Amino acid sequence: SATPATLSAISNRANHGVLFKGGAAMEALSTMTELFTDKTGTLTYGEFSVVEYDLPEDYLKEVVYMEQQSSHPIAEAIVSQFQHIPLDKVDQSEPVEEITGSGLIKGELRIGKPSDFIEYANIREYTNKSKEGYTMVIVGEKNAIVGYFLLADQVRREAVQAVSDFQKEGIKVTLLTGDNEEVAKKVSDEVAIQSYASSCLPEDKINWIQNSQKEGEVVGMIGDGVNDAPALAHADIGIAMGSGSSVAMETSEVVMVKNDLNKLYDSYKVSQKLNQVIR
């Protein structure tokens, strides 16, 4: 069981919006040697806005209806930006399926990232419209792509300082994202993060973590999405953003209620001091 000093540190951290689920979590954080981080909602606010789109009105209605079934930040942005459009004539009986991990939404249409549409003959015509740093969403019918969206998100103000602080401590920080190479690179540059891996499926995130663990690293992972939950569970210290999905919070040892990454660094320093005292 936790010592009085540990309990007091846990309560102090809780006052700063960082919830530790027990003394073991605080001890684990003090020994962390490597940190993986998700992008959307974690290093960024996860508050997208549609900056450009091209899609016939009937398809747009169908997309809004389908995205209403998804809780991804991209879905929320599309639904809220086009909420004024009446969804008449949309067949709401057609089932909508969300492929967890790849982010593909399937129903009357297919909605997802360009890499899910490489077998479509007219994909080039659309990827040519992508702009560096924007997330592209493609809308396809059975055999042809019918439109696209470009969305923008912003890096969290505290992310740059927090990542720099961890890297100065000798902790290797790596971005793991389901998003494309260009966006991964742009965010890595903006946050000055040492390395990144793009187009990651949930199992790819797990692989990165397990490979580091095999090399003897004590691995932390920060994330917020349903698709991060398996990786958060495999990490030595899973850290969930409070703004994220409940499954991410349930599978993590630490919950960042206020989403402030600087508070995570402060907590890391507190955990180290505590363990020096105990040892």
Residue from 30, 174, 177, 259 touching ligand ADP (CB under 6 A): that is 177
Count of CB atoms situated within 10 Å of the CB of 83: 10
User: By three-state DSSP, how is residue 34 classified?
Assistant: strand
- CA angle 250-175-11, nearest 5°? 40
Residue from 13, 61, 113, 263 touching ligand ADP (CB under 6 A): that is 113
Nearer to Mg ion, 123 or 221 (CB): 221
Q: Is 38 in the site for Mg ion (CB under 5 A)?
A: yes
From Mg ion, ligand ADP, none, which one binds at residue 227 (CB under 5 to 8 Å depending on kind)? ligand ADP
Please give the Cα distance from 210 to 235 (Å, whole number): 8
**Residues of this chain, 200-229, that bind ligand ADP according to CB under 6 A:** 225, 227
Nearer to Mg ion, 30 or 42 (CB): 42
Segment interacting with ligand ADP (CB under 6 A) among 26-34, 122-130, 177-185, 266-274? 177-185
Closest CA to 38 of 267, 228, 254, 236: 228
CA distances to 197, 221, 245 from 252, rounded to whole Å, are 22, 9, 11
How far apart are CB 246 and ligand ADP at their closest, in Å? 16
Please give the Cα distance from 140 to 114 (Å, whole number): 10
Q: Is 153 in the site for ligand ADP (CB under 6 A)?
A: no
Q: Is 174 in the site for ligand ADP (CB under 6 A)?
A: no
> Across 32-144, where does the E strand assignment appear?
34-37, 49-54, 97-99, 104-106, 110-112, 135-140
Residue 38 falls in the annotated catalytic set: yes
One symbol per residue from 195 to 234: x for binding Mg ion (CB under 5 A), - otherwise; what is it?
Answer: -----------------------------xx---------
**Residues of this chain, 81-110, that bind ligand ADP according to CB under 6 A:** 103, 105
Q: Is 178 in the site for ligand ADP (CB under 6 A)?
A: yes
Please give the Cα distance from 33 to 22 (Å, whole number): 20
How far apart are CB 202 and Mg ion at their closest, in Å? 11
Closest CA to 186 of 224, 130, 109, 241: 130
Active site residues: 38
